[in-house]
A and B are shown apart, each in its own frame.
Chain A
Amino acid sequence: MNKLIKILSFVSISLLILTNVQAQEWNVSAEEKAMELGVTFTEEIQDAGNSIYKKSCKMCHGDVTIAASNDRELPLAPNLGATDWQKANTDGEIFTKITSGKGGMPPFSGSLSDDDRWKIVAFIRSNYDAYIPPNTNKAAEAPKVEKFAGTIKDIETIYNDAAQSFTVRIIAIDDNGHPAKAKGVKVDLFVKRYFGNMALFEGERTDENGEIVIEAGNLKADNEGNISIIAQTSDKSIISKKNITISYAQEWENPILGRNIWGTSARTPIWMLVSYLVFTFGTLSVLGWAVFQLLRIHNLRER
């Protein structure tokens, strides 16, 4: 009987999950479908959308890669770079789906602002070559980002100990083979950590000197003050790894050393050990004395 109930409940739960995940249809009104992209379709906005995507969407949808149709199966959510999907959905539709969610996908209306959600749409659309931004005038007004035309040779990272700042510089040559200042190149800077690389910045563009300066602010290093950093162009064509040494190295404190934190180690605080031993051996010595008295009584047995 119990087993039957178990099986029945299992079946019903499975059905419930299936209906949630698959059978339920998107519910997008015509009005919502007709909404236009709420942000300007600039590279800057797309980058911003990308960073929101990484935090809020990537855990289920993964990286957006361009493909003809969805190439992923459950439990992974669909690849949003699928061309057929991009073609089938209007901007407003994508926006509404992010807003209200469905089944396993949560609604983001509470956790992301309208602006942020539009930025995600902009980012998703940046992976669709055939996309035409709705308001091309607006896009035209936005300053065009110049792309660096020369060849990037290397990335150099300089650590300024006094300012606790990093300077990431692109070493490049122009078409004539002369050293050039590579402006507008997207660069990432990571610090190596135990479970992964921590971004100090990602997708930042170099300034007119071909550099990015960032204040790191009290970055934690290991016992010797070493930090491993990785600088790369965002397209990962050039990756440069480097160990730097900082001056404000912090000594690692072993949390279990010292008798004061007596609860955490086998070390006994002296006051406790002394109290214990004095009490125990004090009592034992009196008892020993008492046993010795028995011996004395025994020795007095002859009158």
Chain B
Amino acid sequence: MSENKKQSDEAIMMKIREDILTPMTKFPLSYKIWIGSLLTIIAVAIWGYIIQLQNGLGETGMRDYVSWGVYIASFVFFVATALVGMLISAVVGLVGQKWITPISRIAEMIALAFAMVAGIAIVADMGRPDRILNLFMHGRFQSPIIWDVTVVNLYIFISILLLFLPLLPDLGIIRNHMKKDLPKWQWNLYNILSLGWVGTPGQYKILHSTIRVLLILIVPVAMALHTVTSWLSALTLRAGWDSTIFGPYYVTGAFVAGSGAVLVAMYFIRKAYKLEDYITDFHFDKMGKLMVLVGLVYLYFNINEFIVPGYKMKAADADHIHTLFSLHGEYGVMFWLTQIFGLLLPITLGLFKPFRKPFPMMLIGIAIVIGAWFKRVIIVVPTMIHAYLPIQNVPEEFHHYSPTGLEITVTLGIMAMGILIVSILVKLFPVIPMWEIAEEKGVDIHKDL
């Protein structure tokens, strides 16, 4: 190898290290305020949850008829968003798209964080969280909840590995170059986590093959995760849930929600870390196109999900459809706002290049994420206000559902927890896979960088 090449490699690596590792060592005021406010929300939510624990779920707006509310909707939303890890890294990555390299780690971090808080949302919804071990002591293999618990944990496990494995060379770089820039404990942490990475061809060989196997494995596991989540509804006899396409409907919906979340995260991380050289307009453009693609697929499933029962108008389905479609229906306004701002508008705008610029993409991403959350409420709640038999001899509040302040606080707290995990992960680890960027730039990475 020529001396010139060595020098240019070293120069490229210097720049990459400078660009990506420097933000990790800085804690600007904005970051502190951000973390502080997240922690405040979480603290208030914990206080709310303690009240809920003491007084029971009666503190929420849920009652005997609408017995699942925003907690379950949030659970579905978190699981949906978590699926983006599989979409970006596995589906897009495995078909050979190179542009995902700088955003794949962001996607993995979102996936891990949201898969973890999904479990918290479920615990918040439980009437007897103290008996959670019953799931292991008395678990029934016939129950979709057991399947869900199993597959959520498997997904978290895979997400951790898929986040950690591509981190190894980067951890090696940090260990080699950051000893004096970092507190001792932090450097020790990276030292241990790097597992003695020195970048030998043998290590790379193992790394590549393992990542590849995991990327293949995450596809069925993620599909199973969201399909099973959809079955929590679809395996019941309720009108509005009793649907055969709920599995793919949820999975494609998850892709939309996930790409929205990635767009937002990309924008703010790029801005905070000044990563304009790495996450470029080109990446927003590509992500926008991906969003339009998955949005169109989701739109197709939406059409199926609503037109088919809407055409037949079976008695119970008809009640459900009226609630959603009619603007006078209880959920009519929410339904149309969700569909327009969460799906139709993003798809339409995403078709035009000017809207695939970073800033509009971020706004569209926010609309998608908010829409995705409300869409989960639309999926969970309206079905339950239509029981097959009349709802009578119960107080007025049993007929409808409106979440209480406490319920919303706890939900926001869980969301804040997810965002907090992402915020900590992006501070703790390089958000851009340095070695992959270096490899793309032609640096010989088969050595201790």
Contact = CB atoms under 8 A, between A and B. Distances in A.
A301 B191 CA distance: 12
B150 A280 contact: yes
Contacts of A269: 142
A298 interface: yes
A3 interface: no
Chain A interface residue bracket vs B: 20 to 34
B29 interface: no
Interface stretch (B85-93, B192-200, B295-303): B192-200
Contacts of A300: 198, 200, 202-203, 206
B141 interface: yes
Contacts of A198: none
A296 B196 contact: no
Interface string B77-117: 00000000000000000000000000000000000000000
A297 interface: yes
Interface stretch (A42-50, A72-80, A284-292): A284-292
Nearest to B202: A300
A4 interface: no
B206 A297 contact: yes
Interface string A241-271: 0000000000000000000001100101100
Interface in A273-303: 273, 276, 279-280, 283-284, 286-287, 289-291, 293-294, 296-298, 300-303
A272 interface: yes
Interface stretch (B153-161, B319-327, B354-362): B153-161
Contact of B203 (A276, A287, A290, A297): A297
Contacts of B213: 286, 289-290
B165 interface: yes
Given A273-B141, A290-B161, A296-B206, A283 B195 contact: no
Contact of B168 (A268, A273, A283, A297): A297
Contacts of B147: 276
A279 B195 contact: no
Nearest to B211: A290
B236 to A, nearest CB: 12
Interface in B125-177: 140-142, 147, 150, 154, 157-158, 161, 165, 168
Contacts of A263: 142
A13 to B, nearest CB: 16
Contacts of A287: 154, 157-158, 161, 217
Given A286-B217, A290-B165, A303-B198, A297 B207 contact: yes
Given A283-B217, A290-B161, A293-B206, A272 B168 contact: no
Interface string A77-107: 0000000000000000000000000000000
Contacts of A296: 206
Contact of B197 (A266, A283, A284, A297): A297
A154 B147 CA distance: 67
B159 to A, nearest CB: 11
B206 A262 contact: no
Given A297-B195, A300-B202, A283 B154 contact: yes
Contacts of B203: 297, 300-301
Contacts of A291: 161
Given A297-B203, A300-B203, A276 B198 contact: no
Given A297-B195, A300-B203, A284 B142 contact: no
B116 to A, nearest CB: 17
Nearest to B164: A294
B154 A280 contact: yes
A77 to B, nearest CB: 28
B106 to A, nearest CB: 22
A301 B197 contact: yes
A301 B195 CA distance: 8
A41 B200 CA distance: 114
Contacts of A266: 140
Nearest to A268: B141
A266 to B, nearest CB: 6
A283 B141 contact: no
A298 B195 contact: yes
A262 B142 contact: yes
7 contacts: A286-B213, A290-B213, A290-B214, A291-B161, A297-B168, A297-B207, A301-B196
Interface of A: 262-263, 266, 268-269, 272-273, 276, 279-280, 283-284, 286-287, 289-291, 293-294, 296-298, 300-303
In order of increasing CB-CB distance, the 5 nearest A-B pairs are A301-B196, A293-B210, A298-B195, A268-B141, A300-B202
